[in-house]
Amino acid sequence: MSNPPPPPRILLAGDPKGRLHLLFKRVTSVNQSTGPFDALFCVGQFFSDESEEEVSDYVQGRASVPIPTYFTGAYGGGAVASKVLSEAQALRGFHPQGIQICPNLYWLRGSAKFNIAGLSVVYLSGKGTNGEANYTVDDVDALRALADEPDVVDLFLTNEWPSGVANGADLSHAPPQVTDPSGCDPLLAQLVAEIKPRYHIAGTKNVFYAREPYMNDGAVHVTRFIGLGTVGNKDKQRFIHAISPTPASTMSAAEIGAKPPNTTRSPYQNINMAPNDAKGSSNSKHNNNNSSIAIGHETQYWRYDAPPNKRQKQRLLCFKFTSSGSCPQGDKCNFTHDPEAMEHYTRNVCFDFLNKGKCERGTNCKFRHSLSESDDDSANTRPATARRTESSCWFCLSSPDVESDLIISLGENYYCALAKGPLVESHVLLVPIEHSPNTLIMTSEAEKELEKYKNALSVYFEKQEKIVVYFEYAFQNNRHANLQVVPIPTSKAPHIEKIFNLASNRLGFTFSSIVCTEGESEGDSTTNGIGRKELRSKFDGKSSLFYVELPGKKILVHSVDDNEKFPVQFGREVLAGLLGMPDRADWRKCKLSKEEEMEMVNVLKPAFSQF
């Protein structure tokens, strides 16, 4: 048997700040004496605030980059750097492996994931603290999507440190910069806790710090954090470091789950404590009176005009809860689950604006920068609506993001598709082909086709001794409607209305009802079209509405007030409780493999086709 290939060898460097000759001279020396190395990753400010001559030397070919080099901090430079970056971007466009600046030099722009020498590398370019070159909400969203993937990330590259990384660590010999909140970003703490990389590399603070490995919630492997000094710093902080990690994709379960004796708990379990609080700092402006994950984001406490004593207790928002209405970590999540913020987010309010009170993208942002529904916010709202095109919609058939292999039946106005992360087997969606925010404003022809689909589904599930519950949350700024179709055992039918009413009472509201008589039903086996006709007549399209169509002749309706904290996942959560499976209330916990999805689709498609 042949020996396995040696693990890749990687060099890491802190902020170059334009000192490229010094950096690459050191890299050349190290590569000749202990190499060869597969790549160099630079984190922190890459360009100089002063002279840009050294950058020009490499771009114009007067000097060469010794090994493939990737940098994340495309800020700090002047006209030369700006021109170099803009020309490279215009010529080559975005690429996850980096935009080539010159031979062997690549700019990691935005956020993405790529592989090099077998290693899985994830990066976030830009900064989170106030100033230039801030990363965007789209960059963060892309990483959160990656966090849901099952593969283990080997390296996570960021410019700044995550707030609280030193929590639980041995600080007896740590330099003071380690517990200084400057150069730390609280959102990175949330991201790294979700991504769970094996190595997290950061710069900015001009200090070398190799933290003890720490455990990750929900994963067997540990994470090692490495902070690096600035290239050529006068404090003799190490600015270049070598690692040789075996790719996680080639490791056995025992190897990847190994924990060194000095492993600590995750530093992000109690992230609301500022790191320097543990040392009793009295001169920090982030002491216990306002300690939170808000280090570096002093403007975040503006939210919702809360009184001062409550504002001090606010922490950064959990993106997953804010964007979806649920978080798989539940009470263990280190970030705020704020239903009010979630409601604002559903109305197209910018997440950065909710989280920090400001958005660095200004008029280029796709989202609203106002909590007021009456605020026209024309510089952001109207262009944003126009810019949120169908091309990026999960449900539009013309979109590259649509998962067309989940489609079971395709009509003229609607299609039926398997739900992602289904609550139960055969949980499907009825989706308008038109890019519509809800099903209640569709044309009468589309409504007729919808009723045909519902009748067919009812007959199909009736043969399995199941009845069907339909529900929809029609809220403002929803991108593309989908009517949820959940089959329920017939034995549970008498309890459906009761459990929805109990759930509504706990949230402080009461459903109104639309009841159709036998004479109105026109023989439909589902909640009939006349009931929906009345519902459609009551819906003005300007407010939010939740409704559930019960088996028989009744629709429960709730008009959601502008200031109401209504859970986005309400319908699913109620049915999960009815079925005795509350752990399946979050669709993310119910994701199927592609093989499982295809197996379910292949069962449904021929079985449903006869109807």
* Residue 375 and residue 488 in one domain: no
* Residue 107 and residue 154 in one domain: yes
pLDDT at position 528: 52
Mean pLDDT of the chain: 80
* Residue 363 and residue 434 in one domain: no
Q: What is the mean pLDDT of residues 411-418?
A: 91
Q: From 388, 422, 447, give the residue that closes a domain.
A: 388
Q: From 256, 275, 310, give the residue that closes a domain.
A: 256
Question: Is residue 338 pLDDT above 90, yes or no?
Answer: no
* Residue 19 and residue 50 in one domain: yes
pLDDT at position 332: 65
* Residue 336 and residue 416 in one domain: no
Question: Predicted confidence band at 497 (pLDDT cuts at 50, 70, 90)?
Answer: very high
Indicate the pairing of strand 99-102 with strand 69-73: unpaired
Residue 279 lies in a domain: no
Question: Is residue 530 pLDDT above 80, yes or no?
Answer: no
Cα 492 from Cα 578, distance rounded (Å) = 8
Structural domain range at position 549 = 397-609
Residue 282 lies in a domain: no
pLDDT at position 356: 64
Return the higher-pLDDT residue of 307 and 597. Answer: 597
* Residue 325 and residue 464 in one domain: no
Question: Predicted confidence band at 520 (pLDDT cuts at 50, 70, 90)?
Answer: very low
Residue 273 lies in a domain: no
Q: Which two tokens stand for residue 166?
A: 């030193």
The lowest-confidence range among 205-214, 283-292, 407-416 is 283-292
* Residue 115 and residue 161 in one domain: yes
Return the higher-pLDDT residue of 526 and 538. Answer: 538
Residue 248: C-alpha distances to residues 149, 197, 212, 257 (Å)? 14, 10, 19, 10
* Residue 538 and residue 597 in one domain: yes
Decide if 203 contacts 228 (C-beta within 8 A).
yes
* Residue 380 and residue 407 in one domain: no
pLDDT at position 275: 33
* Residue 363 and residue 449 in one domain: no
Note the pLDDT tens digit of each residue in 363-392. 656 677 766 544 444 334 333 333 333 445
Indicate the pairing of strand 483-489 with strand 466-474: antiparallel
The lowest-confidence range among 273-282, 451-460, 538-547 is 273-282
Cα 172 from Cα 212, distance rounded (Å) = 13
Query: At 220, which CATH number?
Result: 3.60.21.10
pLDDT at position 124: 95
Say how many CA atoms lie within 13 Å of 401 toward its Cβ: 9
Q: From 335, 370, 388, give the residue that closes a domain.
A: 388
* Residue 68 and residue 171 in one domain: yes
Question: Is residue 518 pLDDT above 60, yes or no?
Answer: no
* Residue 488 and residue 542 in one domain: yes
- Total domains, the chain: 3
Return the higher-pLDDT residue of 92 and 70. Answer: 70
Question: Is residue 432 pLDDT above 80, yes or no?
Answer: yes
Q: Which two tokens stand for residue 249?
A: 């994709």
Q: What is the mean pLDDT of residues 571-596?
A: 87
Q: What is the mean pLDDT of residues 157-165?
A: 95
Question: Is residue 474 pLDDT above 60, yes or no?
Answer: yes
Residue 271 lies in a domain: no
pLDDT at position 132: 62
Question: Predicted confidence band at 107 (pLDDT cuts at 50, 70, 90)?
Answer: very high
